[in-house]
Structure 1
Amino acid sequence: MRRTLRRSTVPDAGPGTLGPARIDARTKALTKRLRPGDVAVIDHVDIDRVAADALVAARPSAVLNAARSISGRYPNLGPEILVEADIVLVDDLGPAVMAIPDGSVVRLDDDGSILVGDHLVAQGDRQTAESIRGSLELARANLSVEIESFAANTMDYLRRERDLLLDGVGVPDIKTVIEGRQVLIVVRGYHYREDLATLRPYITEYRPVLIGVDGGADAIIDAGWKPDMIVGDMDSVSDRALSSGAEIVVHAYRDGKAPGRERVEELGVEPVVFPATGTSEDIAMLLADDKGAEVIVAVGTHATLVEFLDKGRAGMASTFLTRLRVGGKLVDAKGVSRLYRHRISNLQLWLLSLAGLLAVVAALWSTAAGQTFFGLVGAQIDDLTSWVGALFGGS
């Protein structure tokens, strides 16, 4: 339960976690400027897995959340990931913690007290593995309510986007040739780095069309490739990616407003605008399907009900329906990696090569020409041995 505290002086609060505070209500924006040892200050209800993974990668000493990291709506995955990574998590600190000046050195005590200097700013609930397990058990009891809400959102999306979802009405024309090719769509989501690394042989051999969804374009570049297309609202993709020469498809609202368009045009790139209600992940799949993709391989996208709910917004119902629409072509990256990986180990290859070499030697030995060849080789070896012996014997 949140406790509202007046600003006061604490004479001797004792030692605790120290670090410079970095504040941003948007966790995705904050992780871009976090440094190891910083204290991340966020306002994020139901921390999802993607946000937690990004925080863990930035290695802050602590995460201070103005909101509740587990609200109880559903069993979200983020808090457990943070605690398992030995990152201190303090919950339900209230709006006062967001008013800490960015860069101020904060102290976090074991009882959840947050201090700047000697001033008590806020106090919250310090999470442990045990407290998180208890909260998740309660959240699972409420899961049926969330599923009902998810189903209602799904039907609402189907009514509003029926023409796009069923008939492809509204899909814009693009320059990138997709017809008859395989398409790899990269979302900076669950295990995207591992999936891309596993798919390296597949990408090298099949050369699919590479589509990055917002920050997924940077993931493609970081892995050593160049995206053919970037789809999204352009809020988490770098200028480097936008200037890479990829075709840009800006995800716009249904009324045509596209907040990311201005940023792209300022870089001297003329984008394609795709108005749609769903997520950028959805329109990338619908675009690939409508333009004749043979296979759509998904990296970092959402595949299970818990992952849809973990995204924390009603719009994820569109992703569920989109997956049903393109399901005949869609292959999850983990499935591709398991199918494509080599079934023969390196040791087996060496043994096979050795067996082949011995077979060749045996075949040559059985012929007169082969015996003559081996005799000449033996004579050359004897000469070399004698020369080496004489060289070292003479010295």
Structure 2
Amino acid sequence: MRDGAVAAIDVRDLTKVFGSGTDQVRALDRVSLTIARNEFFTLLGPSGCGKTTLLRLIAGFEQPSQGEIFLDGEDIAGRPPFKRPVNTVFQSYALFPNMTVAQNVAFGLEMQGWEPARIGGRVAEMLDLVKMERLGDRRPGQLSGGQQQRVALARALANAPRVLLLDEPLSALDFKLRKEMQVELKRLQRETGITFVFVTHDQEEALTMSDRVAVMSDGTVQQTGGPDEIYERPINRFVADFIGETNFLPAEVALRGARYRVPGGALLSGRDPHDHTEGAEVTLALRPERVDLLAGGDGPAGDVAGDGHLTGSVTQVVYFGTDTLYVLEIDGIPGPFQVRVQNRQGAQADFAAGARVGVRVGADAVQVLVD
């Protein structure tokens, strides 16, 4: 959590077990995390990692097997959903098809006993917030997927919950709409000041929108931090592999905290936050966009004066428009190695399949992993 920030949600030692005996499934295993007020916080991980279970526990749709959940310092574990100051936006939108857009937004306020005049003003305010002010008389079946999602957001925000929970709300949208809604969600969170807790398996969504991200696997939180920290300094191989594309190289520590020898004899420089001793076997992670592709592949295997140097051959070239992906076979190292090169001024691929190339690896490109 950011320094000085006040906790909106504090989860302590939270465990959730489904079933019993041999059919028992531990969906969450002693998870602890803190989410600040007014923060856009994302739970990120593959299917079955426990992120939606955690969201449902915060919402009150499930009860914990062990542990505590605090909202603004108050223990809410055991309290039913309608007595928690949170709202949830689901992947399916869950709009009432027989009601207009305005009636959908007003529904929750009516259930809370708001006066009609006050409801009308609040509905108009919410529709303006999500840029749907001219479509209040339409029904959900007359709207696009993106418009339906905006209505679901307006309805969830109408009664000003302290926390808004979002369970993969963009997964049903096409690529362009997802991009647009990413921007809109961040705008809404910033303008309302409400704490957003967002669940997704999409790494780009998490990096684009979040103030902080918790990467989950097998019912546990692997790492929590800002998008740049998660991407640039992953704590282990799972996080490095799940967040973006990564090359993994086995290596031996040649100089403690400074240099690493990879198969084939090349030496790479880098900083080791885990302080492995000389001779220890480690794994190096290199992002494809952080290394440089060079013409010719007959340079030195190791550059003792500075950056490391690998050699190899191009096996595949994939043009993406914004950049080109080169798949290489690195001399002495098993498995494919990827390099991404930014395309500028309509540049096409500089190297064809079969070409001999060099790869320059700067010390800032090398991440030494704990496993």
Question: Shorter-chain TM-score: which interval?
Answer: under 0.3
Give the TM-score normalised by structure 2.
Answer: 0.23
Higher CA-based Rg: 1
Give the TM-score normalised by structure 1.
Answer: 0.22
- Comparing both structures, which one devotes a greater share of its residues to helix? 1
